[in-house]
A and B are shown apart, each in its own frame.
Chain A
Amino acid sequence: MSDAHDISLRVRSYVAGHPLPILEKIPFAISSMPRRMLVAFIRMGGESSPWAIGWQIGNDQPVLRSVPEARNRIQVSEMVAEFGDALLAHFKDFEHGQPQLWVAGPTHIDMLHFLALRYARARSGDAQLIARLTATGRLAHMLFEASHNPNRSLCMNAPALLRQVMVFPCEPIRQHHLGYLIGLLNSGTFEQRMAAAQEAEKLAISTTLNPDVERKLEPLVSEWNENKTTSAKDPFEKKIHTILGAELQTRLHVLASGIVAIEGLGLATNPGSSQISVASIEALTRHNGYDEGVRAGGATISPETDHDPVTAASNFAGSDLDLIKAETALTHHDSEMRNQLVQAGSGFKGTIVERKTVIQLRSTKREQLCVLASGSCPLRSRKGDRLRCALDTDDVLRWVIESIEPMLTTQRKIVLVSTKAVVAGAPPMKGAKDVVFYAVDDASMKVRAMIKISELNSSEELPGGWLLDKLRAGRDPDSVVEKEHFKGESADTAEKLGLDDGSR
């Protein structure tokens, strides 16, 4: 979406006095209730590990877990392992529908990355616990990456999804707060909606707590630390859990309301989202295979880096391909998405002024269209480009631009020829108005790029490959990169830091 388009939508939404839909259909599928797992994290200020985790599957009672001291690594890892068991079980089963993880904002997504960084390659500790933690780390990594991939509907960031479908009459920075968005979606006048949003905004729903809540917890945590016996610690642990549990409940409640709000928008689901669900299940299957491989002694994908240019190039091409696939799957079924492409210059809208059958290469029948299109939008398409037509029911036919001719008026005359024979009477017919022809990048080119990358024998063949060639060839154990790679769990470094809490 261009800046001008975005600005225009926000002003129009303000003038309307309420949020406006920017898409015709919801571009993602929401799984059935039992296949949804709602998750909320809380972390202590300055820490990146969770202090408390709450989760709820379907209509089950939420599970609320917390530790009295977020800096105690053992307690935290046991809590994470318990959460990980539930997460792994949820994503293991995809025969009863596609599993989804729902979170109430970007900081909760970040926590998945923190879990991946912390645990995916953990090595020291009880073997059974480590196995549970590393599996959790690997899945958290996959879900973190899925949250950025438009061709996956596995990890759903509720406010981001709402922003994808609706435009809200407020500053972009406030739109990360799910409660604020829900408030604006309420019924009532603009002022009433705004008041509800501002009230909701007061509730912290990110992974950090309001400082006043932390200040309330501070003496309890100190008491818990100072007391040495379990019986003396217990009352403080309970009090801490009560406060953190209530905070988790708030986040889960807002998140559940967010899903209800999305479902209540009254928009149909884009049929193309089923292709994204299929791609998501394929990704899960691949992950499970990878997971089994790691359990059998295989290498773990680093949540930090691609390490070498071949992997980086492959991952880049893969994510590009996913973007194209998602666009392709969704655009054909959504007129607003197509309009956005036209406005961005990736297509045009016009009237079919002529349609005739032409013969190419002696006997090949093709359909030729002459379209009178508006010239008010920029157009990046050129002669020879292959476009899709919104009226093509199965989205198989492509139209090749034969010529683009400027008219004296602010219009363009564009001649297109079909890539296949078209059944007589199949749209678009002569006289049809506002027919959209649009370009979506060709996925096959990306697939070819990925094949090319996989055929490369040496990282030297890629730009920048020389940088890591020496490392790949020699695996110098003293090299900085190697040390960085395997450094994560070094016990002596922790000792040098003097911060080891003795929990390892």
Chain B
Amino acid sequence: MSAQDTRRRFEQWIKNPQCTANAVSAILNVPMLKVARAEGVTTPFGQSPYALVRGRKFEQSIFAKNAAVLREELEKNDILPKKSAGFADFRLSNAGGPYKRIEDALAATSAWLLSLKNKTATETIASGATIRIPGGVMLPKATLCIDALAIDFSGARIHLIVGEIKVYPDRGGFTDATQIATSRAQAGMYVHGLRLTVAALNLEDSIEVSDRGFLVLSRSGSNHIKLRPNEDLRAQAQRAQAGLAQLSTEAQTLQLDSSMGLPVIQKAATHYCESCLSFCERAEICHGRAKTSHSAAVLGDDVFRALGGISLERMKELMNGTAQPIDQHEREILELIQTGQDPDTRQDSPNE
């Protein structure tokens, strides 16, 4: 994970905000893989090398020839007017762009945003626009690289429309819901970051970041693109705003500084849940601990929530009759497990 890839660290944290170790790892930017390896985990992790190459090539092809392919789709879907022109490229050289350092991309993006106001810039598509969330809400830096931006000059104010590029195929209603949700969450984060940047540059009078964005996916078994227009990103932008504020508070509460490393994460409290399996390399260690402590989390998040702190060992005792419920909560949970019905939804008087 890049030190400056704030978005990924934020997404890591938000997958399990209840886990202090996860929060510390995200704030200090120490990958969990490093912690897991130090704790003896040998299971293979990492991204597919082919997927990375494919993603890069797909993105490069979309922006080739002044983003001709993307432009065609944006015009078809009325996101840009017909015969639009101009392409601003802020990508780094390793992604096929002109900038060698992220600082250069940052400066160029800021200059370009300012020139949009002055009407000296007229590009309708931008790729790799790089922004830094003002305020330093996370250690050490908060930098975002936006896959694609469509710029609409038709209104009184200039509209920036955020686009997120993903290489997985669009299968209509069968497209993986988690993948779609993640893509929208990323785009929402960019909307929020861009709004902060626009505000910091005093451009709010002339530039508006649209609530609507677009996703660029692939077509099954081919390299053709499939554009999903009009993605409503309002809720996702709010989520990013609230999440970043919460993470910032957490960073202050935990009193961390960037010199701290592995030992702090190892000592921090953990909270195992199902989503850990999808992103955290320490998941199996935490699962083992949950099993040893008879935590209901090993049966899933829904069981953990339903049992409300009652351990599976205690549940066993209650069900085997070797112990009696000590309070109303235990009585209700025992009833739920024995009858398979939520006491709240059960009806003591028949309805007619």
Instruction: Mark out the residues of chain A between 169 and 215 whose CB falls within 8 Å of any chain B CB in the assembled complex.
Output: 169-174, 194, 198, 202, 208-212, 214-215
Contact with B along A394-421 (1 / 0, CB 8 A): 0000000000111100111000000000
B59 → A minimal CB distance (Å)? 11
Contact A378 B300 (CB under 8 A): no
Contact B169 A172 (CB under 8 A): no
Contacts of A377 in B (CB 8 A): 341, 346-347
Contact B50 A46 (CB under 8 A): yes
Contacts of B224 in A (CB 8 A): 487-488, 490, 493-494, 497
Q: How far is the CA of A208 from the CA of B76 in the complex (A)?
A: 34
Contact A11 B312 (CB under 8 A): yes
Contacts of A410 in B (CB 8 A): 348-350
B57 → A minimal CB distance (Å)? 6
A64 → B minimal CB distance (Å)? 20
Contact with A along B288-326 (1 / 0, CB 8 A): 000100001111111100110000100110011000000
Contact A171 B299 (CB under 8 A): yes
Instruction: Mark out the residues of chain A between 295 and 319 whose CB falls within 8 Å of any chain B CB in the assembled complex.
Output: 304-305
Instruction: Mark out the residues of chain B between 58 and 75 whose CB falls within 8 Å of any chain A CB in the assembled complex.
Output: 58, 60-62, 64-65, 68-69, 72
Interface residue B264 (Cβ < 8 Å from any Cβ of A): no
Name the one of B48, B218, B222, B307 contacting A211, with C-beta atoms under 8 angstroms.
B48
Which residue of the partner chain B has the closest CB to A191? B291
Contacts of A383 in B (CB 8 A): 352
Contact A113 B76 (CB under 8 A): no
Which residue of the partner chain A has the closest CB to B224? A493
Contact A488 B219 (CB under 8 A): yes
- 3 interchain residue pairs of minimum CB distance: A45-B48, A118-B221, A46-B54
A493 → B minimal CB distance (Å)? 6
Interface residue A379 (Cβ < 8 Å from any Cβ of B): yes
Binds B, one of A2-10, A153-161, A227-235, A249-257: A2-10
B68 → A minimal CB distance (Å)? 6
Q: How far is the CA of A10 from the CA of B169 in the complex (A)?
A: 35
B212 → A minimal CB distance (Å)? 17
Interface residue A117 (Cβ < 8 Å from any Cβ of B): yes
Known A-B contacts A12-B337, A171-B299, A211-B47; the reply to A117 vs B54 at CB < 8 A is no
B225 → A minimal CB distance (Å)? 8
Contacts of B206 in A (CB 8 A): none
Contacts of A378 in B (CB 8 A): 345-347, 351
For this complex, 22 residue pairs linking A to B, each with C-beta atoms less than 8 Å apart, are A2-B341, A3-B302, A7-B306, A7-B337, A8-B336, A45-B47, A45-B48, A70-B50, A113-B220, A114-B220, A115-B221, A118-B220, A118-B221, A171-B297, A172-B300, A172-B302, A211-B48, A211-B49, A375-B349, A379-B347, A410-B350, A483-B76
Contacts of B47 in A (CB 8 A): 45, 211
Which residue of the partner chain B has the closest CB to A413? B350
Interface residue A343 (Cβ < 8 Å from any Cβ of B): yes
Interface residue A357 (Cβ < 8 Å from any Cβ of B): no
Contact B171 A117 (CB under 8 A): yes
Known: A2-B341, A45-B54. 6 other contacts (CB 8 A): A171-B297, A171-B301, A202-B43, A376-B341, A405-B350, A410-B349
Contact A404 B299 (CB under 8 A): no
> Max chain B CB contacts within 10 Å: which of A6, A305, A405?
A6
Contacts of B61 in A (CB 8 A): 497-499
Which residue of the partner chain A has the closest CB to B275? A173
Contact A48 B69 (CB under 8 A): no
Which residue of the partner chain B has the closest CB to A171? B300
Contact A404 B50 (CB under 8 A): no
Contact A6 B302 (CB under 8 A): yes
B19 → A minimal CB distance (Å)? 16
Interface residue B172 (Cβ < 8 Å from any Cβ of A): yes
Contacts of B50 in A (CB 8 A): 44-47, 70, 214, 218
> Max chain A CB contacts within 10 Å: which of B60, B302, B338?
B302
Q: How far is the CA of A15 from the CA of B51 in the complex (A)?
A: 42
Contacts of B219 in A (CB 8 A): 117, 488
Interface residue A100 (Cβ < 8 Å from any Cβ of B): no
Known A-B contacts A118-B221, A379-B350, A497-B223; the reply to A5 vs B303 at CB < 8 A is no
Contact B299 A379 (CB under 8 A): no
B325 → A minimal CB distance (Å)? 15
Q: How far is the CA of A6 from the CA of B60 in the complex (A)?
A: 47
Q: How far is the CA of A499 from the CA of B352 in the complex (A)?
A: 66
Contacts of B337 in A (CB 8 A): 7-8, 11-12
Contact B319 A404 (CB under 8 A): no
Q: How far is the CA of A44 from the CA of B48 in the complex (A)?
A: 8
Contact B174 A113 (CB under 8 A): yes
Q: How far is the CA of A259 from the CA of B171 in the complex (A)?
A: 29
Contacts of B54 in A (CB 8 A): 45-47
Contact B49 A218 (CB under 8 A): yes
Interface residue B342 (Cβ < 8 Å from any Cβ of A): yes
Contact with B along A485-504 (1 / 0, CB 8 A): 00110100110111110000
Contacts of A500 in B (CB 8 A): 223
Contacts of B172 in A (CB 8 A): 304-305
Q: How far is the CA of A379 from the CA of B350 in the complex (A)?
A: 8
Contact B222 A118 (CB under 8 A): yes
Interface residue B274 (Cβ < 8 Å from any Cβ of A): yes
Q: How far is the CA of A15 from the CA of B72 in the complex (A)?
A: 60
Contacts of B269 in A (CB 8 A): none
Q: How far is the CA of A126 from the CA of B278 in the complex (A)?
A: 43
Interface residue A290 (Cβ < 8 Å from any Cβ of B): no
Contact with A along B194-223 (1 / 0, CB 8 A): 000000000000000000000000111111
Contacts of A215 in B (CB 8 A): 49
Interface residue B339 (Cβ < 8 Å from any Cβ of A): yes
Contacts of A117 in B (CB 8 A): 169, 171, 219-221
Contacts of B43 in A (CB 8 A): 202
Which residue of the partner chain B has the closest CB to A344? B341
Contact B69 A497 (CB under 8 A): yes
Contacts of A113 in B (CB 8 A): 171, 174, 220
